[in-house]
Amino acid sequence: MNTYNTVVVGGGASGILAAIYLNDSKSILLEKNNIFGKKMLITGGGRCNITNNASFNEYMKCYYNSGNYYRQAFNNFFNEDIIKLLEDNNCKTKVEENKRVFPVSDDSKTVVDCLVNILKKSKTKFRLNSKVHNITKKEDCFIIEYNDETIKTKNVILSTGSDSFPKTGSNGDGYRFAKGLGHEIPENMGGLCPVEIEEEWIRKLQGITMEVNLEIKADNKRIVKDSASLLFTHKGVSGHCILDNSMNIESNLRKNRKVVIYLDLAAGYSYEQLDAILQDDFKNNPKKHLRVYLHKYLPKNMTEVFLEAIGIDDNSLNQTTKQDRIRIRDNLKKMKITVKRVCLEDAIVENSGIMQKEIDPNTCESKIVPNLYITGELIEGCGICGGFNLQKAFSTGVLAACSINGRCLK
């Protein structure tokens, strides 16, 4: 039976970084897929939002509950460190809106290939197509069964991800391993999730994206007000603002509160301005039909659905009553949609995971099982959109490796 110092289970963002910084010929990284970083390849719309250039203090505010838990991980390895690591290895980066960092290539494969090349230069061994079936602890070592082999190791770094995006291999294995070793896995609390909407007409808008002002209320009390890019889906709505606030929405739904979203589809105009423009346009373009006229405010393939949703026929402007014109104005400025549920099964990143109270934030070592280290999305508490979750993965992976090696980077 082969014996190792450390076995890293999972070759995603945190696992690759952990293996690189272990830099140990007596350690090995096991990845079940035939490639590394499969989930990374789909992040950022396939462009890989590597990290965010926000300040340390800003980072502390960008995670559910609190970013303070990751303070030591970020102190040890932060956004400038992953950028430097990539830049030093010929993966150039750029900063875009809201301080989001992407590869210049706009191709996530560039990032993954770069990290894999760095891994190949390290001393740490690695194996693809290596599915771990079971992990047990006996006395002072772990027994790992994978494929048709059994190995022994002093340390284990669990970097498997959660159970979001099972097609990438992130199917909850890490939860199963941790639970089998003694950890408690809490109820799924979602994370960055789209939401399902009750109104049926919204499903006809699938694939449309538009900039809106948005207000979310729970039992008529405002919980969110923002300007955002909204994506209509086959179930309801998504987009950064929805994803970032899905935990807040879910929390209110769990308390049996009615959650509604108000969309300002004509954000560039006040009620008074829009009313005056509608009056002038209806007077000056009497023969134009509503579905054509409304292109001024809405995407072309949205106007008929909008009219259907508010119960107005597609008449010419001079055949549209004053009451209907006012209804058009009011719904352009405040279109109401009702949240049915948060789509936990479609989470991009999960907020659930092994509880922070069971993991030492200074080392990523389990407080329940000595020499078991837990990294990345397996740790409860996700960040908002914008590169914060990949940075959490990179930083915790490096911290676990540094803790095993007995020294931090800074």
pLDDT band at 130 (very low <50, low <70, confident <90, very high): very high
Residues 121 and 133 sit within 8 Å (Cβ to Cβ): no
Q: What is the pTM of this model?
A: 0.87
pLDDT band at 190 (very low <50, low <70, confident <90, very high): confident
pLDDT of 295 reads 94
pLDDT of 66 reads 73
pLDDT of 222 reads 95
Please list the residue range(s) of the chain that carry CATH number 3.50.50.60. 3-189+349-405
Q: Is pLDDT at 171 greater than 70 in this prediction?
A: no
Question: What percent of the chain has a predicted confidence (pLDDT) above 70?
Answer: 97
pLDDT in tens, 211-228: 999 999 999 999 999 888
The Cα–Cα gap between 398 and 14 comes to 7
In whole numbers, what is the pLDDT of the chain averaged over residues?
A: 93
The Cα–Cα gap between 45 and 238 comes to 14
pLDDT of 276 reads 96
- The mean pLDDT value for 165-182 works out to 78
pLDDT of 170 reads 59
Name the packing angle between helices 13-22 and 108-121 (round to 10°): 20
The Cα–Cα gap between 338 and 306 comes to 15
3-state secondary structure at position 134: strand
pLDDT band at 165 (very low <50, low <70, confident <90, very high): low
What is the CATH T-level fold of the domain 3-189+349-405, as seen in this structure?
A: FAD/NAD(P)-binding domain (3.50.50)
Q: Which residues contact 273 (CB under 8 A, 6 or more apart)?
A: none
pLDDT in tens, 340-386: 999 988 888 888 789 999 999 999 999 999 999 999 999 998 999 99
3-state secondary structure at position 309: helix
